[in-house]
Amino acid sequence: MSLYAIGDLHLSLGGSKPMDIFGDRWTGHVEKLRRGFEAVGCNDTVVLCGDLSWAMGLDDAVLDFNFIADLPGKKYILKGNHDYWWQTASKLNAWFSENGWSNIALLHNNAAIYESGGERVALCGTRGWFFEEQASAHNEKIYRRELARMESSLICGSKLGADRLFAFLHYPPLYGNGYECAEIIELLEKYHVEKCYYGHLHGPSVRLAVNGYRHGIDFQLVSADSVDFEPVKII
């Protein structure tokens, strides 16, 4: 059994969003993802770090979620900034079960336990916060809500009796140019998060990523195009 993470599948199987406009790496990205998941076993777990589907509503997202469900492993999903189809947890859970997608679950205001070598690892996460959005006072409310979601997920993970906590975000909590989302980093430190995986950065923006230790936490970008469309093995 292994644990993996990858973000930004950017599927559009029910629509016609051409992803190659984001650069050559995205040409044939659905097939690349299918091949990338060949290393994942059906008893493995994969955290999908947001930007999953371009669909605007659940009906348009069915083909994308059929694809996700058919990929091997249990999938925990985070919300990204492009996931306009996202609904309340109760609606999404009902939609998953109506469609028989028993291997897809939400990572949203909650946490999940992944057991490895006798240890309990808590998988915690939320969408996170984008530094460009921070400039707008209008979004202060959303920012506070994201912080609250992150903390409730970390509390939930701790209460589940975790030996280790891993965090998954869509937005990078810090950048190579020095920008850091201080409140999110403080939360990760407060709950002794060991590893933090995030997505959102594509193409030329990948150079802004922080991969490695900061504040004693191991950060890694896992957006699909930055990892050759192959889920990154964590443990």
81 is a site residue for Fe ion (CB under 5 A): yes
Q: Which stretch binds Fe ion (CB under 5 A): 32-40, 47-55, 64-72, 101-109?
A: 47-55
The binder of Fe ion chosen from 51, 64, 146, 230 (CB under 5 A) = 51
Smallest distance, Fe ion to C-beta of residue 98, A: 27
230 is a site residue for Fe ion (CB under 5 A): no
8 is a site residue for Fe ion (CB under 5 A): yes
125 is a site residue for Fe ion (CB under 5 A): no
- Asked if 221 and 176 touch (Cβ cutoff 8 Å), the reply is no
Smallest distance, Fe ion to C-beta of residue 224, A: 8
The binder of Fe ion chosen from 200, 210, 219, 221 (CB under 5 A) = 200
Cα separation, 77 vs 48, whole angstroms: 5
Residues near Fe ion (CB under 5 A), total: 5
Smallest distance, Fe ion to C-beta of residue 94, A: 26
Q: Which stretch binds Fe ion (CB under 5 A): 24-32, 78-86, 107-115, 141-149?
A: 78-86
Smallest distance, Fe ion to C-beta of residue 192, A: 27
225 is a site residue for Fe ion (CB under 5 A): no
Structure tokens at 223: 């957006």
Contacts to Fe ion by CB under 5 A? 8, 51, 80-81, 200
